[in-house]
């Protein structure tokens, strides 16, 4: 399986290298270079049984790769297949069936996608840089409880759809299309192989975190503040809901007023006092600690400042959350370079 993924990725990189040599879209700007991929949250393995992104106002479409997926975090693609025409219409519908291993349950759903929004984002991404457009992949994510999410991804990742599939009953087949007669045994063996007995025991004891992926999408009022001698213009934010963006620093005032989900990662460049070299830092937040701190400081109603003071060595970096309601120094984040 790993060999296949590497082949797919290499093929994908080759295709993208060709993309910059030609037109990125048709003259009417409704067909683009894009591929499909799939996603699932870490420690909650899923398997895409079948899935299709249907082209706008057409009966055909591009299939979603079928596999069980475990990812570093929600919103990371697992595999891509280089298939179909180079230039394809964008999708306006998604049909998908998938299996949730940790629930031993099948789900299915047919969804209308926001075509005009997807089209506008693809056009904007090409307008920014026709040789390296912002988006080149459409990703379908599935999670326990029948959660279905769709992102546009590439140089950035933006969620365009979030929905709920319904459970259904049917026979389950393995990847060789053999019918699985003892599904309980099949599920348990595969879960242990994919996430280990310790994590399985924890799920059996504490249950599944239904509602978690909806929670990740909750918008908050927050702003990053950096206590550094000098900042570079590089600033990248990744969010718990799978999105990630690049910004220019300092941030525009209108951008600061915009509510957004809580950050999983904040990456930035800066100069440390006493040095002439530029350093790049990534602060990775602890989910439980960050959400608890925001709750103490007013939840979604109050603006919270996330203050980062970078130091060398990196483990001395300090992170503090504060507003008029108080100040909380975080303890469980990781600072990386």
In this structure, the answer to whether residues 147 and 263 fall within a common structural domain is no
Nearest CA among 297, 332, 300, 334 for reference residue 314: 334
pTM score, whole prediction: 0.89
Whether 19 shows a pLDDT value over 90: the answer reads: no
Domain of residue 23, CATH code: 2.60.40
In this structure, the answer to whether residues 225 and 162 fall within a common structural domain is no
CB atoms within 10 A of CB 327: 12
82-126 pLDDT, tens digit per residue, is 877 889 999 999 999 999 999 999 999 999 999 999 999 999 999
Are the C-beta atoms of residues 282 and 237 closer than 8 Å to each other? no
| 80, containing H or E segment | none
Q: Which of 48-62, 63-77, 258-272, 297-311 is the least confident region?
A: 63-77
160-213 pLDDT, tens digit per residue, is 999 999 999 999 998 888 999 999 999 999 999 999 999 999 999 999 999 999
Q: How far apart are the first and last CA of the chain?
A: 31
Are the C-beta atoms of residues 33 and 136 closer than 8 Å to each other? yes
Asked, for residue 96, whether it belongs to a domain, the answer is yes
Query: What is the Cα gyration radius of the chain?
Result: 21
Looking at per-residue pLDDT, the higher value among 170 and 337 belongs to: 170
**Residue where a domain stops, chosen among 135, 168, 201:** 168
pLDDT at 25: 56
Q: How many domains does the chain have?
A: 2
pLDDT at 21: 37
Q: Which SS3 state, helix, strand or coil, does residue 286 take?
A: coil
Rounded to whole angstroms, what are the CA distances from 37 to 8, 62, 69, 149, 238? 11, 10, 11, 12, 19
Please give the residue range of the domain that contains residue 280.
218-336
Asked, for residue 289, whether it belongs to a domain, the answer is yes
Are the C-beta atoms of residues 281 and 314 closer than 8 Å to each other? yes
In this structure, the answer to whether residues 154 and 290 fall within a common structural domain is no
For the residues 27-53, what does the mean pLDDT come to? 92
Work out the pLDDT band at 4, boundaries 50, 70, 90.
very low
In this structure, the answer to whether residues 244 and 306 fall within a common structural domain is yes
In this structure, the answer to whether residues 156 and 262 fall within a common structural domain is no
């Amino acid at each position: 399986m790993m060999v296949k993924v590497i082949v797919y990725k290499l093929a994908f990189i080759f295709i993208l290298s060709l993309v910059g040599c030609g037109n990125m879209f048709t003259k009417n700007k409704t067909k683009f270079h894009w591929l499909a991929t799939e996603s699932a949250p870490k420690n909650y393995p899923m398997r895409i049984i079948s899935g299709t992104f249907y082209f706008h106002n057409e009966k055909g479409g591009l299939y979603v790769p079928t596999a069980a997926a475990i990812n570093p975090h929600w919103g990371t693609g697992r595999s891509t297949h280089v298939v179909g025409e180079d230039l394809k219409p964008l999708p306006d519908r998604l049909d998908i069936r998938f299996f949730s291993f940790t629930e031993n349950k099948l789900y299915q759903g047919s969804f209308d996608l926001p075509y005009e929004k997807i089209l506008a984002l693809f056009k904007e991404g090409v307008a920014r840089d026709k040789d390296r457009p912002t988006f080149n992949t459409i990703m379908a994510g599935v999670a326990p409880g029948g959660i279905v999410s769709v992102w546009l991804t590439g140089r950035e990742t933006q969620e365009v759809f979030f929905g709920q599939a319904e459970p259904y009953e049917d026979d389950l087949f393995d990847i060789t299309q053999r019918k699985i007669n003892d599904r309980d045994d099949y599920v348990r063996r595969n879960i242990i192989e994919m996430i280990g007995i310790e994590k399985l025991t924890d799920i059996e004891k504490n249950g599944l975190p239904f509602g978690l992926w909806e929670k990740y999408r909750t918008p908050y009022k927050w702003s990053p503040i950096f206590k550094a001698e000098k900042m570079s213009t590089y600033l990248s934010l990744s969010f718990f809901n799978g999105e990630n963006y690049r910004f220019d620093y300092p941030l525009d005032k209108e951008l600061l007023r915009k509510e957004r989900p809580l950050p999983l990662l904040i990456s930035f460049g800066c100069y440390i006092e006493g040095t002439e070299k530029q350093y790049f830092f990534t602060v990775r937040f602890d989910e439980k600690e960050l959400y608890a701190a925001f709750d103490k400081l007013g939840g979604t109603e109050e603006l919270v400042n996330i203050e980062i003071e970078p130091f060398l060595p990196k483990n001395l970096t300090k992170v503090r959350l504060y507003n008029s309601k108080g100040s909380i120094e975080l303890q469980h984040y990781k600072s990386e370079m």
